[in-house]
Amino acid sequence: MALSTDQSTSNAVNGVVVAIAGLVIVYAISLSLGLPQHGTEMVVQHASHSEASSPTAEGHAHDDQDSDLHADANAEGAQEAGDLVSAAPPFWTVIPFVLLLGAVAILPLIPATEHWWESNLSRFKVAAVLSLATLLYYGWIHSSPVDGHWPYHYVVEPAAKGMNWGFIQAILGSAMVSEFVPFIVLLFSLYTISGGIRIGGDLRANPMTNASFMAAGGLLASFIGTTGAAMLLIRPLLETNKERRYVVHTVVFFIFIVCNCGGCLLPIGDPPLFLGYLEGVPFTWTLFALWKPWLLANGLLLAIYLVLDNLWYFRKETIADHYRDITHTTKLRFEGLGLNVPLLLGVVLAVALLDPTKTLPGTDSHPWMFSREVVQLLLVGIALQFGASAVRHKNAFNYHAIVEVAVLFFGIFICMQPALQILGEYGGKLGGMLGAEGGVLSNAHYFWITGGLSSVLDNAPTYLVFFKTAEATASSGLYVPGTHVEEPILIAISLGAVLMGAMTYIGNGPNFMVRAIAEKSGVKMPSFFGYVGYSVVFLLPVLWVVAWQNC
């Protein structure tokens, strides 16, 4: 059985390497045809025109050249954003999204569907059917103009008759190309490369040891991503705690800190901040603007964990458990650092530098479209081809967790498009709907609304919606450089999206992956609602303190 498993893992690794090589060859051919270069040229020209416009340039007319570029890049019927005004779909169109969230929350709890849902193929079938329902709505029922966001903002008008293919193309461009592809490539790169690093050993599983793992992960999360830090440290944390019976709370706090709250300091840390960087936020702004709330949130969570584990769970362990833990203690051993740490840094640099809307440092040239994703995949290929397979075997590395994230978020990104469009239309009116003074959302409103929706809508696109809302409603104030968003508001939006992504399993991609790895290690993780119970009791008070101090 072990040989069969090893062979299966080896075949999967080889298959991924071959697939990456194929994608690189296809990209090289597209470069020879000038396609990525043309894509970058369109993005740069549109960005240059937008910078010359007001903060609400999406509602102003564009020139004839932009119109021609739209026609080249998008389906027939795409119009200049100033010529048409998009309209959000009716509220009932969020039903597929609600059903998908319901499937994630409920199907694992029903005995008849529990094992069926464990298969990624089953998850994909549910996600695909509900995604198809959403696309069919846009193709056959929706009759108002629709916003597209790839390769830049444009508006598509309804087809004169028949299927609205332009709508479907706009939705798929926004959901898949603009949002899902960069999101999943980044997660996949960090997940796979970090899987080649082995931190072995079995330390004393006392509260301070576990808190030290979390503190290290909370710091690393901002520099190698929440996914990279989580994948690097969850396995040694589980190995250290394998002699303990009460481990669930430790994994939950690990998700709070390493998978979410630790990722505030750099755009590489968490997907919403990455999208902010793509929108013009300086790469180091988060480091200087968010380090105090980062320290406050993670410090409070670590303190709560230490008190909880010391006074309750650690004391509940039997004498036999403590004896077994002490007698099985070994020193930490590190493997795979020489190759994979530079590759992780390469991913960070790719994200920081290879943005088609920004020039390469010291030059006037813009990176080619999709070069960022191709470089990340190349780094993955190097890690798989030249890394030690024995290290991945010791880590019990496989692609199940990242595939689970991919199939579920494939459906989430498509099904939540109506919800995001509804939010986009009514976002500027939320202040009046909530009775805010003068109809203007306060910093605290931005924090709690962005955060609350990030818990269930995925925090990256939710961040983007409120980023755009803040731009559209901006008044004179201190803007974050490169944007038209006032700094206190962007701090509130950033903190809400990142910190409250920890409230549910679906708030952030690494949450799911850590849950899957823990359950494969024998830890019976809470259900969707059980996890939310932990969040309400332990995380919510910390969020209140952070909001009180910073919003």
- CA 127 vs CA 92, 99, 132, 207, 512: distances in Å: 18, 10, 9, 39, 16
Whether 100 and 435 have beta carbons less than 8 Å apart is answered as no
Tokens of 257: 């800190």
What pLDDT shows up at residue 542?
Answer: 97
Distance in angstroms (rounded) separating the CA atoms of residues 59 and 82: 5
Q: Which domain holds residue 142?
A: 1-551
pLDDT: which is higher, 56 or 29: 29
Q: Residue-wise over 212-241: b if at least 16 C-beta within 10 A, else e?
A: ebbbebbbbbbbbbbbbbbbbbbbbbbbbb
What is the pTM (predicted TM-score) of this model? 0.79
Count of beta carbons in the 10 Å neighbourhood of residue 167: 27
Averaged pLDDT for residues 110-137: 93
Distance in angstroms (rounded) separating the CA atoms of residues 433 and 423: 13
Close Cβ partners of 117 (under 8 Å, ≥ 6 residues apart): 103, 107, 108, 123
Distance in angstroms (rounded) separating the CA atoms of residues 149 and 173: 7
* DSSP secondary structure letter of residue 150: S
**Number of domains comprising the chain:** 1
Tell me which residue has tokens 């079938």.
125
* DSSP secondary structure letter of residue 258: T
Terminal alpha carbon distance of the chain: 55
Q: DSSP string of 166-202?
A: HHHHHHHIIIIIIIIHHHHHHHHHHHHHHTT-EEEEE
Which range (17-31, 258-272, 417-431) has the least confidence?
417-431
Flag whether pLDDT at 486 surpasses 70: yes
Q: What are 340-395's pLDDT values in tens digits? A: 999 998 998 898 888 887 888 888 889 999 999 999 999 999 999 999 888 888 88
Flag whether pLDDT at 321 surpasses 80: no
